[in-house]
Chain A
């Protein structure tokens, strides 16, 4: 049903924000970062910066002991021996060894715990860095963290370009949440971009925290859109929402990888994406503007309901968007039973809400 031009729109020419150009051997690193950072912290009046900076680190990616790339990250957990750092998977990709550097300039080798390339989440651990602390989040329990409101101010901290620009803070405001720059059916497993923001992000910012005005981490800066179909876009940046990232990171920390619970391979589309022609064809009630349409059942689909049925909620959480639906699904373990409310499709129109319980499976991507 998608028109040719719409399909073209989905050919994303995008830039991952990972710097690979600034070659610098770590052992030649001789820069008085410590003095500069302490000075910056003392002089800053920004609460967000002062509170968030001690948890921000730079992540170096080395291939055969040669510097290969640089990204940002932040400490999300700590035990007696190690600090655990969240960054983007594409910062770590291809690396054979890793280093992290604290905002104070202390550099230490880091060990890869695991990463999920599809969701672009990676976790490394290192020995406890001096004068650093674990990042704070809007809620201790990640399932309770809500997305930021549109129009709220947010800051990104990271090292755009090169390490000379470490601990750079940029300010912007949230343009949108639950956004899906990729086609839905792909977006469900692949895309992870939910917070749209207009601050300035550059290569090297990847993996850094997006913090609110109180210095609490609300996202992970990841991706920006440059050129699509010959049109140059500016100020369209995407951050992974922290609620999804924390879930994945905590599983990766425990098990070394994130195994997805799945309802089988299906294609989905958000109701709000349906054009009027499609809505008319399917007889979608005009009052229904949210929900997830199952557009195609896969061979191992666990959902024994007709194609085009609309999923209303999962485990009691409204499926307002694919991002939300995926988030709530990923909060379960593979094999768990989930309760799904749905409107069953029939040629005569959608039926009333019904419930089914299905057991999820592990999805290997």
Chain B
């Protein structure tokens, strides 16, 4: 039954996309199949036949680099530019005969030429788009959507398929194919942002297409704050965020945060305390933190965050507990206290030991102050194979530098 449905959906989508012929009978057949069967979608990653709808078209001719758009000179122009590449994604699930919808926002980050069409990759929020439910072993798993429908700012609609995702950063990459020539949003440099700077965000609150691609504007309130997403007691994602004060609403997760010149500097994520009456504590993931991840996902490569093999805790928390008080004597107030070193990890291999404080790091020669775990996490997310990464650890006996090996 599962295979049958998958095939029906696949063929149906192909027909809609390519021929536009009269599908009345076909669609009613599909709908009745979906309604009457007790569909249990398979786990994402386990098998996605249902989504593999473009196989016949996927003849890659060339991959296109980011198109440079002429810089907008006003907010109105910025809106026009970003609106064309920002979309609302609706993922539909049929679980035990009941239909569920999940709504998130997204934006196009890559464009590929096929023989007579274009394939676009867009990024969205994984936790927002995926539907989780218990499997037979009583474990929560992501379900594969029956279909994902997207609406672009021009109100054009397409079916999309899930390409890859990395839950730790709450990122999912999807793709759709069309003959329309659309633009890719240019990624900016989130490191150049400063507190107080104005940024814009675009997305669609869960009210639906009626508020499609709402653009909001606010200022950055704080930077490098940890954010963790829980599903029940399970930690789904953790990453660093910048906080801004524009009124994001549920459904805007996955949408772009961009500067006035239309360059993407972040991905909107869950606002702080959404269910507790907090207002305008919106957050976004800085784009520089996830560039490596996005790059891997759109190129169908595996992505894993580099680890250094230490268990750390913020220094102030340790001092408050009454340990490592020696740091006060040498006026060391910020950093990461190493509680333990994982045997065989990069840190251990470099010869470092616990009970020290990580205060600085150098990535490819550039120095960064490690004021907290968010900062270290941010740095790790940017490390690529072969990069030089050095940390300074302050021990009671003095400071030492360790070169960590990222060649493997």
Contacts and interface: CB of A to CB of B under 8 A. Distances in A.
Interface of A: 3-6, 9, 149-152, 173, 175-176, 179-181, 196, 198, 225, 228-229, 231-236, 271-273, 275-277, 279-281, 283, 285-286, 289-290, 347-349
Nearest to B260: A151
Interface string B191-227: 0000000000000011111111111110000000000
Given A176-B214, A236-B247, 16 more contacts: A4-B99, A5-B100, A9-B206, A151-B215, A152-B76, A175-B211, A231-B206, A233-B205, A235-B247, A236-B211, A236-B214, A272-B155, A275-B157, A277-B31, A290-B155, A347-B22
Contacts of B79: 150-151
Interface stretch (B52-60, B275-283, B287-295, B387-395): B275-283
Given A4-B99, A150-B76, A289 B279 contact: no
Nearest to A174: B215
B27 interface: yes
A363 to B, nearest CB: 24
Interface in B235-271: 246-247, 249-250
Contacts of B20: 280, 283, 285-286
B149 interface: yes
Given A152-B76, A180-B210, A290-B155, A232 B99 contact: no
A176 B249 contact: no
A233 B149 contact: no
Given A3-B101, A198-B216, A234-B249, A276 B76 contact: no
B172 to A, nearest CB: 20
Contacts of B284: none
B99 A5 contact: yes
Given A6-B208, A151-B75, A275-B157, A175 B216 contact: yes
A272 B209 contact: yes
A276 B159 contact: yes
Contacts, number: 111
Interface core residue of A152, A229, A234 (most chain B CB under 10 Å): A234
A103 to B, nearest CB: 29
Interface string B28-52: 0001000000000000000000000
B76 A198 contact: no
A348 B205 CA distance: 36
A175 B79 CA distance: 9
A196 B206 contact: no
Contact of B214 (A5, A152, A196, A232): A196
A176 to B, nearest CB: 6
Given A173-B217, A176-B214, A281-B27, A181 B249 contact: no
A280 B158 CA distance: 11
A94 B391 CA distance: 71
Contacts of B16: 276, 280
B71 interface: no
B157 A236 contact: no
A271 B156 CA distance: 10
Given A279-B157, A286-B20, A236 B249 contact: yes
Contacts of B154: 289
Nearest to A175: B214
A196 B211 contact: yes
A232 B100 contact: no
Contacts of B74: 151
A273 B22 CA distance: 20
Contacts of B215: 150-151, 175-176
B274 interface: yes
A280 B212 CA distance: 21
Contact of B250 (A150, A173, A231): A231
A273 to B, nearest CB: 6
6 contacts: A3-B99, A5-B100, A231-B249, A234-B249, A276-B16, A286-B156
B249 A235 contact: yes
Contacts of B75: 151-152, 173
A273 B157 contact: no
Nearest 8 pairs between A and B by C-beta?
A235-B247, A151-B75, A272-B155, A234-B247, A151-B76, A151-B79, A289-B155, A149-B76
A176 B211 contact: yes
Given A150-B215, A175-B215, A273 B24 contact: no
B381 interface: no
A149 B31 CA distance: 41
A273 B88 CA distance: 13
Contacts of A196: 211, 214
A281 B30 CA distance: 12
Contacts of B249: 231, 233-236
A225 B251 CA distance: 15
A212 to B, nearest CB: 13
A250 B99 CA distance: 48
Nearest to A178: B210
B127 interface: no
A127 to B, nearest CB: 41
Nearest to A283: B22
Contacts of A3: 99, 101
B403 to A, nearest CB: 48
A345 to B, nearest CB: 13
A234 B280 contact: yes
A287 B206 CA distance: 26
A273 B209 contact: yes
B97 to A, nearest CB: 12
A80 to B, nearest CB: 42
A5 B103 CA distance: 11
